[in-house]
Homo-oligomer: A and B are copies of this chain.
Amino acid sequence: MSKASEKAYREIREQLLRGTFKPGERLIEDDLASLCGVSRTPIREALRRLASDMFVRQIPNHGTFVIETSEHDVEDLFELRAMLEGYAAARAAHRVTADALARLNEEIARIDRALSMQGAYYLDTFLDANRSIHAIIIGLAGSERLRLMLHSLTEQSVVLGTLHRYSMEDLKRSNEHHKEIMAALRAGDAIWAQAIMTAHIHAAFRSFSRGEDDAVQDKERKD
């Protein structure tokens, strides 16, 4: 945690996201240790964290392997996220505060500005503000367990490469959803909030799924 363990976690995670370690590949603790410049002890801690994040899979006495992901997995992931975030939004509608609404409004405006200015880093701004928006809503739900579960799911969607696949149209619609979610929260309408949030996640999945079509066909042709 304090230094070596955290460093190892970040480094291995980075390599996994970069694709240096391929799905199914076995990760040797000694190799990772020399790669990260630390001993095996913090490496083992890092691998355990990555396993609980479902980035890798550990088999006792056999080693740890990079997770192999399927199309079915992606759909599963989004469905769970849609359900849990919908639930979070419903709870948030009952517990929303003026301060939270103000913060949501600021983030939503930030996305609007970034998208209209068409600057170089509009996507980074979107991703950052989007993360904040969802964090605020999940925070309003007031369940640490729920927060952890959703954190795990969003982490997993990162490793599946579901980001950077959205068109400008997708991003604009996404932010319109944000505005509607905020309206539902302000109205204290839990069912509305839940429904629009569920739609929001499903729409994101379809955007991703559309962009992925070629790769899917390639994969399936091999079988």
Contacts and interface: CB of A to CB of B under 8 A. Distances in A.
Interface of A: 1-2, 41, 44-45, 48-49, 52, 54, 58, 60-61, 76-77, 80, 83, 87, 143, 145-146, 148-149, 153, 156
Given A48-B48, A52-B52, A83-B83, A77 B1 contact: no
A145 B60 contact: no
Nearest to A143: B76
Copies in the complex: 2
Given A2-B60, A77-B145, A80-B143, 13 more contacts: A1-B58, A1-B60, A2-B61, A41-B41, A44-B45, A48-B48, A48-B49, A54-B145, A76-B145, A80-B149, A83-B87, A145-B156, A149-B149
Those 7 A-B pairs whose CB atoms lie nearest each other, nearest first: A1-B60, A52-B52, A76-B143, A48-B48, A2-B61, A2-B60, A149-B149
Given A2-B61, A48-B48, A52-B52, A80 B146 contact: yes
Contacts of A156: 145
Nearest to A87: B83
A6 B83 CA distance: 34
Nearest to A148: B54
Nearest to A81: B145
A143 B82 CA distance: 14
